[in-house]
C-alpha cells in the first residue's frame, strides 16, 4: 500500500486529484471532485482572483472603518462632556479672539493688547480636521444631543454602503477629504463663525453614494429622491448649522469619488493616488489663501 507523502508511516489508497500524490485521511481536503492535498489547496487559493469593488478595493463584509470613525466621534463627544474646554480648543474657526479671561470673542480689526488671536489664521491648522470630530455639547439642550445622534445614524447608514463599494482605504480617503473640504469652505466663506460636526464628511458620503450608483448603473429613481432630501436638509438647516461645511463636504466627496470609480482599470492605482493628492493640494492651497486673507 502506498504511504502518504506527508506521513511516511501511514498507508493509503487515496491520491490527490491534482498532483496524484498519495494522501492519508489527515491530509485530505475535500474538493469539488475527490480530495486534494494541502499544498494543492493553497496553490489553488493563490490562483483564484479575489473580488474587487467598483473602485478596485478588496471586498469586505465588515465596515471596520465606519465602526472606527463612529468610535472616534463618540469618544470625542465624551471628551467634550468631561473637558468642555476641548470644544473651544479644537472646533473649526478661521479667526477669533481670546480675552485675558480665556473667553472667546468675535474678531474685530482692533482689539486690546491683552487679547490674542486664535484659529486657522493664527496657525492652528489642525482645526480643519479636529472640528469634524466634535459635536454640540449637551449643554446646548436637546439639539446638542441630537446633533451627534443624527450624524452617527447617518454615518452608520451611508458609511456601510459606501465602504462596501470603495474598500477601506479609499473610503477613509473620501471621508477625510470631504471633512477637510467642508472646513475649507467654512474658512473661505464664514471664517469668524465657530463650527463643528461630522456633517460635512457625511454630506461627502452622500455625494459618493450618488456617484457610485451612477457608475454601477443602478436604478436612479430612489437615489435621486435620497439626494433631493439630502439637499433639502442642507437648505432647511442653513439657519442653524453650517451650510458652508455641508456644501464643501458634498463637493469634495463627490469629485474625489468620481475620480476613484471612473479611473481606468489599467492605471487605477496611479490615477486614484493622483486624484486624492490633487484634492489634498487644492484644499491646502485654498486654506492657505483663505488664512492669508484674514
| DSSP 3-state of 22 | strand
User: 90 vs 27, 109, 117, 181, 266, CA distance in Å?
Assistant: 59, 23, 14, 17, 42
Q: Which pLDDT value is given to residue 113?
A: 66
DSSP string, 268-282: HHHHHHHHHHHHHHH
Whole-number Å distance between alpha carbons of 272 and 236: 34
| DSSP 3-state of 83 | coil
Whole-number Å distance between alpha carbons of 168 and 52: 12
How much is the pTM? Answer: 0.80
Whole-number Å distance between alpha carbons of 94 and 73: 22
Q: Which pLDDT value is given to residue 49?
A: 57
Whole-number Å distance between alpha carbons of 46 and 209: 32
Q: Are 134 and 148 in contact (CB under 8 A)?
A: no
Q: Which pLDDT value is given to residue 126?
A: 95
Block mean pLDDT (10 aa), the chain, length 294? 83 83 85 81 68 77 93 94 88 82 60 74 92 87 82 92 92 96 94 90 94 86 85 74 89 95 88 95 95 88
| DSSP 3-state of 225 | helix
| DSSP 3-state of 239 | helix
Whole-number Å distance between alpha carbons of 97 and 33: 75
CA torsion sign for 71, 53, 179, 125 is positive
Question: For the sheet containing 116-118, what is the strand order?
Answer: 104-105, 96-98, 116-118
Q: Which pLDDT value is given to residue 114?
A: 67
Q: Which pLDDT value is given to residue 249?
A: 94
Q: Which pLDDT value is given to residue 108?
A: 58
Residue 172 pairs in a beta bridge with: none
Amino acid at each position: 500500500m502506498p504511504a502518504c507523502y506527508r506521513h511516511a508511516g501511514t498507508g493509503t489508497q487515496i491520491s490527490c486529484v491534482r498532483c496524484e500524490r498519495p494522501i492519508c485521511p489527515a491530509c485530505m481536503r475535500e474538493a469539488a471532485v475527490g480530495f486534494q492535498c494541502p499544498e494543492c489547496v493553497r496553490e489553488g487559493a493563490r490562483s483564484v482572483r479575489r473580488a474587487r469593488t467598483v473602485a478596485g478595493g478588496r471586498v469586505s463584509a465588515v465596515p471596520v472603518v465606519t465602526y472606527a470613525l463612529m468610535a472616534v466621534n463618540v469618544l470625542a463627544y465624551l471628551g467634550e462632556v468631561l473637558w468642555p474646554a476641548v470644544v473651544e480648543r479644537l472646533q473649526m474657526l478661521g479667526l477669533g479672539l481670546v480675552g485675558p479671561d480665556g473667553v472667546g470673542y468675535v474678531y474685530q480689526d482692533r482689539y486690546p493688547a491683552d487679547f490674542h488671536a486664535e484659529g486657522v489664521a493664527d496657525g492652528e491648522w489642525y482645526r480643519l480636521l479636529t472640528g469634524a470630530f466634535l459635536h454640540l455639547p449637551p449643554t446646548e439642550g436637546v439639539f446638542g444631543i441630537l446633533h451627534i445622534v443624527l450624524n452617527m445614524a447617518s454615518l452608520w447608514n451611508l458609511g456601510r454602503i459606501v465602504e462596501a463599494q470603495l474598500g477601506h482605504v479609499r473610503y477613509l480617503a473620501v471621508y477625510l477629504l470631504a471633512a477637510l473640504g467642508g472646513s475649507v469652505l467654512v474658512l473661505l466663506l464664514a471664517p469668524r463663525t465657530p463650527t463643528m460636526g461630522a456633517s460635512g464628511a457625511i454630506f461627502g458620503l452622500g455625494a459618493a453614494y450618488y456617484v457610485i450608483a451612477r457608475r454601477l448603473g443602478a436604478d436612479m429613481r430612489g437615489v435621486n429622491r435620497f439626494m433631493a432630501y439630502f439637499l433639502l436638509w442642507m437648505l432647511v438647516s442653513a439657519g442653524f448649522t453650517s451650510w458652508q461645511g455641508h456644501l464643501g463636504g458634498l463637493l469634495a466627496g463627490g469629485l474625489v469619488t468620481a475620480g476613484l470609480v471612473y479611473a481606468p482599470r489599467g492605471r487605477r492605482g496611479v490615477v486614484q493616488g493622483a486624484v486624492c493628492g490633487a484634492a489634498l493640494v487644492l484644499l491646502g492651497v485654498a486654506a492657505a489663501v483663505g488664512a492669508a486673507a484674514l
